A and B are shown apart, each in its own frame.
Chain A
Amino acid sequence: MRDRITAFLVLLPSLVAVGIFVYGFIGQNLWVSFSDWGKNPTQALALRPELQFVGLENYRELFSGFVDVRFRQSVVNLIFFTLFFMAGTLGLGLLLAIALDRGPKGEGFFRTVFLFPMALSFVVTGTIWRWLLQPQGGVNVLPTLFGFPPFNFPWLTTRQQVLVFDWNQLPFYTALAVGLTLLYLAWQAHRGGERKRLFWSLLSSGLLLLWALTLGRNIRLLPYAEPHGFSLALVGVILAAVWQMSGYTMALYLAGLRGIPVEILEAAKVDGASEWQTYRYVIFPLLAPITLSALIVLGHIALKIFDLIFAMAGLDYAPTDVPAIYMYLLAFRGNQFAKGAAIGILLLLLVAMVVIPYLASQLRKEVRR
């Protein structure tokens, strides 16, 4: 019995620490995000500032206030960064893994080379790529070594945007994307013969799409049109991030490929499947769970990306802004703590949306086992 008490007492400090540093601080941050901390300059740097409760005002300003246009561009940047970063990292990682799985000579060397950026800090990667992407140097003059004309893409310095849309359309596009995803899930459920799941995903997808096409189109977050788009300055950031992380997906996929039983591949061969068919109908479906885990991890990294952009473009450069950067800028440069806290809470919600379903599904799998 004494030992049991000792055991609990050994664990207790960690429990208290996590309780305060995780749960306590999230609670306090939530409260700060509902307050006016930073509105009154005399209170901004006080150790015990007197805070007024202002409800959701900070959130409203971020999404539809006049001054926070930079936050909205940072959200759009984050969406595009996340999508292209995940696609690039998964794609390159899969290609590298397939190549290494075919047993080239020097496999160990290649694996080491593809994985070493994982050991680096995002700050180091950012510093290196900032230099590589100088408009008149680095990558751009590389072709001249072989007698070709130089590239002249301005990388980080461009202010050009493509895929521009009006911020007021964001609810419409979000509902459309989620609705179509649910529709796809419904189709999967239909093929798997899961009637209950088919019903619910079809219903929610239908409702969302209906809302998007009727009311959603007419929502106005702002009294005026505000164009936002994929900022091309992010291309360089995405390139650097893919350089750093695709070794990780390669390692995941390579472990997955090595884990496929030889009998299955033999059976496909006996059935006369071509190489492409083997990949398409046998190997890729078997790798799907790995893709899901990798998506969660990469999504998690992408949503809170901060150090890479800090090192590549600094805090004050709007074209590569993401919410984590803007949050830091507001809170620790501008003393706008309440608004910074609100961005922190929004990031937490975004990450929770990605991680909680994943954890729940993992947990269900464990219970079933």
Chain B
Amino acid sequence: MGRILLYTFLLLATLFFLLPVYLVILTALKEPARITLDTVWHWPNPVYWESFRVAWEAFRPKFQNSVILALSATVLSAVVGALNGYVLAKWPFRGSNLLFALMLFGMFIPYQSILIPLFQFVKAIGLYGTLWGLILVHVVYGIPIVTLIFKNYYSEIPDELVEAARIDGAGFFGIFRHVILPLSAPAFVVVAIWQFTQIWNEFLFAVTLTRPESQPITVALAQLAGGEAVKWNLPMAGAILAALPTLFVYILLGRYFLRGLLAGSVKG
């Protein structure tokens, strides 16, 4: 009895989570003329792959923007985070804990509260409407979370290792390169996954700071779906394109994905 109830509940929950995906795929595979509201759940006949070609053509520049944006911002913020975490964990100075706390505050703020000055600033330095402006913004607002992850990770590395290397004559960067960096792979993976999914999926900065030629895919998708008289096969194919990279990361590296999620879930 209890088992039956359990599996019924799990089945219903699975339907709740997967039916939307099923409908997205169905719709993306239908000929635009055959998409009618009362037959939305019918299997496409014939299957129409053309939507994906059209959507890919329409979204390819935005997809490329997203790839460049997410990869460069992720790499940059991982480097910044590793160095910051190394300093704060292994070279603390008077007041460094306070500065770290002040830094962390940056990940709790709602970005609406800095959006207008940020917009002005990016415009004033001539980066408005460029991908570089958006990369800069993501790196800067990523500093708190990546620093937190690396600092926590490096705190677990015994100070004796650092001390021993110092006695052997290694300096600040020498220790980082030969002692810390070889041990850092797990932290880099967590940070890379977290930043990549966050930046890929981000919308507020992207919609505020880009022009059409520098738009990432989230903005393009929102605008396509929001347009009037839209044929729904295209937004659905677009949604699949926009979702694939992060889904791929999730399915391949789910364990690390979850760890990042639990570490950084309060970020703005």
Contact residues of A with B, CB < 8 Å?
Answer: 2-4, 6-8, 10-11, 14-15, 17-18, 21-26, 28-29, 32, 47, 92, 95-96, 99, 102, 104, 110, 112-124, 126-132, 134, 136-138, 141-142, 144-145, 243, 247-248, 251-252, 255, 296-297, 300, 303-304, 306-307, 310-311, 314, 323-324, 327-328, 331-332, 337, 340-341, 343-345, 347-348, 350-352, 355, 359
Is the CB of B49 closer than 8 A to any CB of chain A? no
**Does B168 belong to the interface (CB within 8 Å)?**
no
Given the complex of chains A and B, what is the CA–CA distance between A126 and B201 in angstroms? 12
Chain B interface residue count, Cβ-Cβ cutoff 8 angstroms: 92
- Among A47, A129, A141, A303, which residue has its beta carbon within 8 angstroms of that of B40? A141
| With contact pairs A28-B117, A122-B201 given, residues A296 and B222 touching in the complex (Cβ less than 8 Å) | no
Residues of A within 8 Å of B115, CB to CB, are: 29, 327-328, 331, 340, 344
Could you name 28 residue pairs across A and B whose Cβ atoms are closer than 8 Å?
A10-B87, A11-B83, A18-B140, A22-B114, A23-B102, A25-B117, A25-B121, A26-B113, A28-B117, A29-B114, A32-B116, A110-B14, A114-B13, A119-B243, A119-B247, A121-B202, A121-B242, A123-B222, A124-B221, A128-B236, A129-B20, A141-B41, A251-B261, A300-B266, A306-B112, A307-B218, A311-B221, A337-B116
CB nearest to A337 among chain B residues: B116
A348 touching B113 by the CB < 8 A rule? Answer: yes
Query: Please, how many angstroms separate the alpha-carbon atoms of A72 and B242 in the complex?
Result: 34
Q: A21-B141, A29-B116, A145-B41 are in contact. List 16 more A-B contacts (CB 8 A).
A: A7-B87, A10-B83, A11-B88, A95-B9, A116-B17, A119-B250, A120-B247, A142-B19, A142-B41, A300-B108, A324-B110, A332-B119, A340-B115, A343-B112, A348-B112, A351-B109
Binding site for A on B (CB under 8 A): 6-7, 9-10, 13-14, 16-21, 23-24, 27, 37-38, 40-41, 80, 83-84, 86-88, 91, 93, 96, 99, 102-103, 105-106, 108-121, 123-124, 137, 140-141, 143-144, 147, 171-173, 197, 200-204, 207-208, 218-219, 221-222, 225-226, 232, 235-236, 238-239, 242-243, 246-247, 249-251, 254, 257-258, 261-262, 265-266, 268
Chain A residues, CB < 8 A from B140? 17-18, 21
Is A121 in contact with B116, judged by CB distance below 8 angstroms? no
Chain B residues lying within 8 Å of A99, measured Cβ to Cβ, are 6, 9-10, 13
A6 with B13: CB separation less than 8 A: no
In the complex, what distance in Å separates the CA atom of A99 from the CA atom of B9? 8
Tell me whether A297 and B265 are in contact (CB under 8 A). Answer: yes
Report A-chain residues with C-beta under 8 Å of the C-beta of B246: 119-121
Contact A132 B23 (CB under 8 A): yes
Q: For the complex, what is the distance from the CA of A332 to the CA of B208, rounded to whole Å?
A: 8
B264 shortest CB reach to chain A, Å: 10
The residues of B that contact A120 with a CB separation of less than 8 Å are 201, 243, 246-247
**Closest CB in chain A relative to B149 CB, distance in Å:** 14
Task: Provide the bound-state CA to CA distance between A127 and B141, in Å.
Answer: 26
A104 touches B110 (CB 8 A): no
Question: Does the CB pair A306–B203 fall under 8 Å?
Answer: yes
**Closest B residue, CB atoms, query A299:** B266
Residues from chain B with a CB closer than 8 A to the CB of A113 are 14, 17-18
**Structural contact, B254 and A112, CB atoms closer than 8 A:** yes
A127 and B235 contact, Cβ closer than 8 Å, known pairs A22-B109, A104-B6 = yes
> Which residues on the A side are within 8 Å of B219 (C-beta)?
123
Knowing A7-B91, A129-B20, A310-B207 are in contact, say whether A18-B113 is a contact too (CB < 8 A). Answer: no
Q: A14-B103, A21-B118, A29-B116 known; A123 and B221 CB under 8 Å?
A: yes
CB distance from A333 to the nearest CB of B (A): 11
Given contacts A304-B268, A347-B110, contact A29 B40 (CB under 8 A): no
Contact A307 B10 (CB under 8 A): no
Listed residue (A24, A117, A145) with the most chain B CB atoms within 10 angstroms of its CB = A117
Bound-state CA distance A285–B71 (Å) is 43
How many Å lie between the Cα of A127 and that of B236 in the bound state? 8
What residues of chain A lie closer than 8 Å to B254, measured between beta carbons? 112, 115
Residue of B nearest to A363 (CB): B101
Cα–Cα distance between A14 and B88 once the two chains are bound (Å): 12
